[in-house]
A and B are shown apart, each in its own frame.
Chain A
Amino acid sequence: MRRSRKKLSARISPRSSLRMDVWLMRHLQVALASLGRLIRTPLSSLMTTLVIGIALALPAGLYLLLGNVQTLSGNWDGAASISLFLKQETSDKQARQLTSRLQNDPAINQVKLISRTEALEEFRQLSGFAGVLDSLDENPLPSLLIVEPTAQHAEPVPAEALLARLRQNSEVEFAQLDLQWVRRFHAITRIAQRGVIILASLLGLSVLLIVGNTIRLEIQNRHAEIEITKLIGGTNAFIRRPFLYNGAWYGLFGGISAWLMVTVSLLLLDNPIEQLAGLYQSGFQLSGIGFSTLLMLLGGSTLLGLAGSWIAVGRHLNEIEPS
């Protein structure tokens, strides 16, 4: 019996006799046929696509917003900077020496020196107290070093360590890090990131269910066709294929509509945000979905559609047997 079974599959198994390009050709045909099927029922296809699109647009939009907030925080890198107020007796020369020493510190990106003289000059111009200052016989202002840590050292813990280290310099009278703000900001973005991940998972699951349910109905509608195909010797793989493509198309089109929704929303937000940024003298601009994010969105949505239909097909195809 074993022999005859082997002979059977050797004689009529299609794989062995098909060349690769024929196989690809066939997949292309099935893919296009299932696309054609979607187009022939435009209304219901469109609705399914939009539902998937909305489910995906929400996390995609929030992800984008989060990315924008982080860019914005990049503009506020000053928040993670350390201010070193030098002792009164430190001369401008000593301040410059300290500056160049710190400049070589690997934890530090950049140091900006505002010498006592410069500070006084600035104060004179901006405050309008020029007369008062002139009456003083000594410059009351200290030199100020603004230290900007490198990216790794801008995080709360290493930034604090850096602060402690800088404080030990003999020239330093007083060192200050606006840590509270940095901490809060990091905590908030972490929560937001987590939130987006949770939301994306839930809505991804809903996409899975939407596609699964749509494909289940499709299988029911094509009950007769599936039964007859089984009757004339269609393998499960053959019968499964159009439904899998169907799910993948739904996912892809859902992803595209999500992209459109997010892009249109950003366009609508662009003007008011520009005005707001203008009020804060910031050159901030909303950034849209980049190419790699778009690829990720479309790839992910296609995979979700494929997985959803895979589940539906696996569950319902075996229930249909010819009689």
Chain B
Amino acid sequence: MIHFDNVTKRYPGGHEGLSNVSFHIEPGEMVFLTGHSGAGKSTLLKLIGLLERSTRGQVRVAGRNLTRLGRGQIPYHRREVGMIFQDHRLLYDRTVFDNVAMPLVVAGLGHIEIGRRVRAALDKVGLLSKEKNLPITLSGGEQQRVGIARAVVSKPPVVLADEPTGNLDPALSREIMSLFEQFNDVGVTLLIATHDLELISRMNRRILVLEKSRLARDSAAEVMT
């Protein structure tokens, strides 16, 4: 589903956020991405969502070569990749419902279909009763779940999460991880960047470790050899 072939990302100024990274994630996998601060985790996720483009090497997602994807095609690619951020990136002047509906509005769905799908997604994350609230009236964990609902509402085959449990207490973190596992159960490919080593070890999933912008460890490779 996600292929990296010798991918290097050099930022303007010459710093390499990612150096010569190769890996391959199968459809339906749930993978954790970890590493010290500044190792390149966010950079890697941004390359998949085309928030950045690779300097060298090839990134392929769902059979599409992102290196060659034209500007006009970027929005259509992003609709197939749900993204979740530590800082939520919600619109604070819109209700929870409107925030979650955004990907569907953008994709041009009719409003009955939108209502149905948004409520299903909000139900899934346990926020159906707060659909008319403004995000500012919600707790951090609730806001994060709104962000998650928005990322999955259009049923994208790939979901990326950058530090989704960064500010949350362990109980909330577990709750969110179990949400991710439910998505994974229905076939969504997930890639989750996190510092939380304890959480990762408990989940018993494949782990990619970045170190100084290089891929230092891939737990899948260890199992195979």
Contacts and interface: CB of A to CB of B under 8 A. Distances in A.
Contact of B75 (A5, A227, A228, A234): A234
A12 B110 contact: no
Contact of A1 (B65, B75, B80): B65
B63 interface: yes
B interface residue count range (under 10 / 10 to 19 / 20 to 34 / 35 or more):
20 to 34
From B49, B79, B80, B83, residue with most partner A Cβ within 10 Å: B79
A232 B79 contact: yes
Contact of A322 (B51, B63, B90, B102): B51
Nearest to A323: B51
A234 to B, nearest CB: 4
Interface string B90-133: 11000000000011001110100000000000000000000000
A13 B78 CA distance: 12
Contacts of A234: 75, 106
B64 A4 contact: yes
Nearest to A25: B110
A253 to B, nearest CB: 24
A238 B102 CA distance: 12
Contacts, number: 72
Interface string A270-312: 0000000000000000000000000000000000000000000
B36 interface: no
A220 to B, nearest CB: 15
B68 interface: yes
Contact of A12 (B63, B69, B72, B79): B79
Contacts of A12: 76, 79-80, 107
Given A8-B64, A228-B91, A322-B51, A233 B103 contact: yes
Interface in B42-72: 46, 49, 51-52, 63-65, 68-69, 72
Contacts of B83: 231-232
Contacts of B137: none
Given A1-B68, A4-B63, A228 B89 contact: yes
A230 interface: yes
A267 interface: no
B64 A229 contact: no
Contacts of A184: none
Given A12-B76, A232-B78, 8 more contacts: A8-B64, A8-B73, A231-B78, A231-B83, A233-B103, A234-B75, A235-B75, A235-B106
B106 A238 contact: yes
Contacts of B110: 22
A225 B91 contact: yes
A14 B107 contact: yes
Contacts of B174: none
Contacts of B73: 5, 8-9
Interface in A218-256: 224-225, 227-236, 238
Contacts of B80: 12
From B46, B52, B107, B110, residue with most partner A Cβ within 10 Å: B107
B206 interface: no
B108 A228 contact: no
B76 A232 contact: no
A13 to B, nearest CB: 7
A229 B65 CA distance: 23
A136 interface: no
Nearest to B108: A14
B91 A224 contact: yes
B3 interface: no
A251 to B, nearest CB: 26
A230 B106 CA distance: 9
B41 interface: no
B91 to A, nearest CB: 6
Closest 8 CB pairs of A and B: A14-B108, A233-B79, A233-B78, A234-B106, A235-B75, A233-B75, A232-B103, A12-B76
B77 interface: yes
Interface in B137-185: 150
Nearest to A26: B108
A18 interface: yes
A227 B52 CA distance: 14
Interface string A1-29: 10011001100111001100010001000
30 contacts: A1-B68, A4-B63, A4-B65, A5-B64, A5-B69, A5-B73, A8-B64, A8-B73, A8-B77, A12-B76, A12-B79, A14-B108, A26-B108, A225-B91, A228-B89, A228-B90, A230-B78, A231-B49, A231-B51, A231-B78, A231-B89, A232-B78, A232-B79, A232-B150, A233-B103, A234-B106, A235-B72, A235-B75, A235-B106, A323-B51
Contacts of A18: 108
Interface string A193-237: 000000000000000000000000000000011011111111110
